[in-house]
Amino acid sequence: GGIITQTPKFLIGQEGQKLTLKCQQNFNHDTMYWYRQDSGKGLRLIYYSITENDLQKGDLSEGYDASREKKSSFSLTVTSAQKNEMAVFLCASSMGQYAEQFFGPGTRLTVL
């Protein structure tokens, strides 16, 4: 088995601040994802990466950057935090694009 680790678990930032969320997986999966989950809304895809150094935009990519420097890690940057950005950010990985996705426990973002 494997595990997905997200850091930090809780992130508090100021409006306008640049914030980075990190995700690590030891499944040796090729594809990794970042989703945002707002209260009362479903998960929405921000970015995904098919392999190392690859980046693909999801439906919610505006206001975010992502980086896949190596196969096991995928980071997400909120370029300028906004008050309406309080949400849980979920990282996931899968062997391939159509394969089972395994999710991390999430990072809860609060913007003051």
Touching other proteins, residues 30-49 (CB under 8 A)? 33, 35, 40-45, 48
Touching other proteins, residues 91-110 (CB under 8 A)? 92, 97-98, 100-106
CA dist 76 and 25 (Å) reads 14
Specify whether the CB–CB gap between 43 and 35 falls below 8 A. yes
Binding region for other proteins (CB under 8 A) out of 20-28, 68-76, 77-85, 89-97: 89-97
Binding region for other proteins (CB under 8 A) out of 12-20, 60-68, 79-87, 90-98: 90-98
Query: Based on CB atoms, which residue is closest to other proteins, 59 or 62?
Result: 59
Query: Based on CB atoms, which residue is closest to other proteins, 16 or 105?
Result: 105
Query: Based on CB atoms, which residue is closest to other proteins, 75 or 94?
Result: 94
Q: How far is CA 59 from CA 46, 62, 63, 69, in A?
A: 6, 8, 12, 22
CA dist 97 and 47 (Å) reads 13
Q: How far is CA 86 from CA 22, 25, 32, 69, in A?
A: 17, 24, 22, 26
- What is the helix (H) or strand (E) element at residue 12, kind and residue range? strand 10-13
List interacting residues with other proteins (CB under 8 A).
4, 33, 35, 40-45, 48, 56, 58-59, 90, 92, 97-98, 100-106
